[in-house]
Amino acid sequence: MRSLFPDPGNSAPANPRSVGSDSYEKNTPMTDGPLIVQSDKTLLLEIDHEQADACRKAIAPFAELERSPEHIHTYRLTPLGLWNARAAGHDAEQVVNVLLTFSRYAVPHALLVDVAETMDRYGRLRLDKHPVHGLVLSSVDKAVFEEVIRAKKVAGMIGERIDAESVVVHPSQRGNLKQALLKLGWPAEDFAGYVDGEAHAIALDESEWTLRPYQREAADSFWHGGSGVVVLPCGAGKTLVGAAAMAQAQATTLILVTNTVSARQWKSELVRRTSLTEDEIGEYSGAKKEVKPVTIATYQVLTMRRKGVYPHLELLDAKDWGLIVYDEVHLLPAPIFRMTADLQARRRIGLTATLVREDGREGDVFSLIGPKRYDAPWKDIESQGWIAPADCVEVRVTLPEGERLAYATAEPEERYRLAACTHAKVLIAEQLVKQHQGEPTLVIGQYLEQLDELAEHLGAPVIKGETSVKERERLYAGFRSGEIELLVVSKVANFSIDLPSAAVAIQVSGSFGSRQEEAQRLGRLLRPKEKAADGTQKPARFYTIVSRDTVDADFAQNRQRFLAEQGYAYRIVDAADL
């Protein structure tokens, strides 16, 4: 992953622990920077500051956005964020320099010490392949080593003691041990290597296209790291990064995807972009059960359980894969995590637009798939012309009096549905569709009765969970060709659906406060659009219709956090002003 940090020169000591607190703070000049660094590990970014964008990009590799109201965005330093930065090749000095460069006030010395010590924890333990003893856990820090091998969390995962600094690890426990060590606060760096798997020739066919520079850089960053996650915006060509990784592996490959439509899109892209033929690529889904040198399987079929076992998971687990590709890795279900814990000797690449998981299992992605190897800010890719700019608008409606009373007297678990499904949203959606007549438009929602009402009111076809794969593919194809201008879709269209012509999205409801869903829905629009008369790229339009003074508005603010971190601002308009 390329460095996103500026080079501020010698503005920070190499080791902040070596500097006394008093002398350090006296000698740190205060500047008019956009960042306030606080001792509780929160970072406050003034977004109207002229250096705010540069600061946002610089802190993105190690700080997580928590809140993003109009003027001040709040980030937090977490161990996982710092370890991800460390695994990507950044050191504590770089992080310290960024904080000092952009901070308005003296940075608390204790925080700098904590940053250095937290990042120093990564790699103090390491997993290696020993010529005699096999998989071995070792450390040059005897105290840390003694602490972890006595921890209850690692009991049963390790074997005989080799010497004072190393112990045998059961090969089947490689993934579980990494999970346990992460939870103990001592993430291990894995140098144990990978099996090649069964060889299979795969080459990119770049006769009519070529990998973009960032796609090649992402694939190379993954390959040099051995396993890990590539984070790219929707529409930036993550499939091609996966194909490039396959060409480097030259081995049988298992690709895990979210649904059957996505599986078929992957197959189509691989046939078009690589030397692979249709006969070399198998689909393993609810409809087909093909196992071939390259097998594309859906998460849903792999997590089907019968009498306490996962038969499909066990079948594919038995194959000698050289590479595992996890599409939309932020969605991994628990059984796939368990399978992945057993696949640590296989190269693994996760592809996603955001590592945000609403269940908090980012640590499992880190320990089982691998650390973040490449992360390109959305706005950087946009500025290069590879994805379209987007105009994000939040349209606020007021519940009619009768609905307001029903909302106020409803049980808490019912309130979001009532606020999200107000008929007032149908009327605003109709108005927006008319405003953008002639532009390919998606109307996206969560609740089936609301989608049916919208489809009937707008005279548009609807795609939802019960829609057959054949009908989905027909409607998607019609939308791509321009035959269908308006589609009403449920969350089945959130992920891995290639609709490059989509120019407008109108979101009426969603999965509560899901940041990942917000990012994926905007991502449906980010394929480059036709140029305007002045030569500039026409922006995509992303509308979210929100009921004010309800939990709908609260959830909307949370959903927007990830995109705010990427530099997207939401304009707020009243429905009456459309």
The CATH number of the domain holding residue 312 is 3.40.50.300
Element (H, E) at 493: none
User: Same domain, yes or no, for 344 and 226?
Assistant: yes
> Can you give the pLDDT at residue 322?
95
pLDDT, residue 13, reads 40
The reply to whether 537 and 420 lie within a common domain is: yes
Are 23 and 35 a contacting pair, CB within 8 Å? no
Indicate if 137 and 110 belong to the same structural domain.
no
575-577-578 Cα angle (round to 5): 75
The answer to whether position 569 is within a domain reads yes
Question: Residue range 228-257: average pLDDT?
Answer: 94
Mean pLDDT on 405-434: 95
The token duo for 147 is 């602490």
Q: Using the predicted structure, report yes or no on whether residue 375 has a pLDDT greater than 90.
A: no
More confident residue, 128 or 27: 128
- pLDDT at position 21 is 40
Q: What mean pLDDT is reported for the chain?
A: 89
Q: Is the pLDDT of residue 571 over 80?
A: yes
DSSP 440: -
- Residue 237: which domain range? 213-376
Residue partners of 201: CB distance under 8 A and separation at least 6: 250, 275
Query: Is the domain of 236 the same as that of 340?
Result: yes
Instruction: Give the pLDDT of residue 28.
Output: 52
Q: Domains in the chain: how many in total?
A: 4
> Is there a single domain that holds both residue 51 and residue 174?
no
Quick: pLDDT tens for 134-173.
999 999 899 999 999 999 999 889 999 999 999 999 988 9
Q: What is the pLDDT of residues 51-71, one digit of tens each?
A: 998 998 899 889 987 776 668
Do 74 and 180 lie in one domain? The reply is no
The better pLDDT of the pair 515, 250 is held by 250
**Is 105's pLDDT higher than 50?**
yes
Name the helix (H) or strand (E) containing 351: strand 347-352
Question: pLDDT tens digits for 273-303?
Answer: 999 999 999 999 988 999 999 999 999 898 8
pLDDT for position 131: 92
The pLDDT value recorded for residue 16 is 43
7 within a domain of the structure (yes/no) = no
23 plus 70 within the same structural domain: yes
Which CA distances in Å does 2 have to 222, 304, 375? 12, 40, 8
In SS3 terms, 105-141 reads as CCCCHHHHHHHHHHHHHCCCEEEEEECCCEEEEEECC
Q: Do 66 and 115 share a structural domain?
A: yes
Are 144 and 269 members of one domain? no
Task: State the virtual CA torsion across 210, 215, 217, 219 in degrees, nearest 10.
Answer: -100
Choosing from 320, 353, 376, the residue where a domain stops is 376
